[in-house]
A = this chain, B = another copy of it.
Amino acid sequence: MMKEQRPANSTDPLLVSGNLKIQAPKQLMDSTKLINHFSKHIKLTTDEIELINSLFSQRSLKKREFLLKSNQICRTESFIFSGCLRTYSIDENGFEHTLTFAVEDWWTGDLLSFLTEMPSFYNIVALENSEILQITKMNLDKLYVEVPKLERYFRLLIQNAYVTQQQRIIQNLSQTAEQRYLAFIEKYPAFLQRISQKHIASYLGITPVFLSMLRKKVSRW
Q: Which residues of A contact B (CB under 8 A)?
A: 89, 91, 95, 97-99, 111-112, 115, 121, 144, 148-149, 151-152, 154-155, 158-159, 161-163, 165-170, 172-175, 202, 205
- Within 8 Å by CB of A205, from B149, B151, B173, lies B173
Q: What's the nearest-Cβ distance from chain B to residue A157, in Å?
A: 9
Q: What's the nearest-Cβ distance from chain B to residue A115, in Å?
A: 7
A contacts with B: majority SS: helix
Q: Beyond A151-B151, A170-B121, A174-B91, is A163–B111 a contact (Cβ under 8 Å)?
A: yes
Copies in the complex: 2
Q: What's the nearest-Cβ distance from chain B to residue A170, in Å?
A: 6
Q: Beyond A144-B152, A148-B148, A149-B148, is A165–B159 a contact (Cβ under 8 Å)?
A: no
Q: Beyond A169-B172, A174-B89, is A151–B162 a contact (Cβ under 8 Å)?
A: no
Q: 10 A-B contacts, Cβ less than 8 Å apart?
A: A89-B174, A91-B175, A97-B173, A99-B166, A111-B163, A112-B167, A115-B163, A168-B169, A169-B169, A173-B205
Q: Which residues of B contact A162 (CB under 8 A)?
A: 111, 158, 161-162, 165
Task: Using CB atoms, name the residue of chain B closest to A99.
Answer: B170
Task: Using CB atoms, name the residue of chain B closest to A112.
Answer: B163
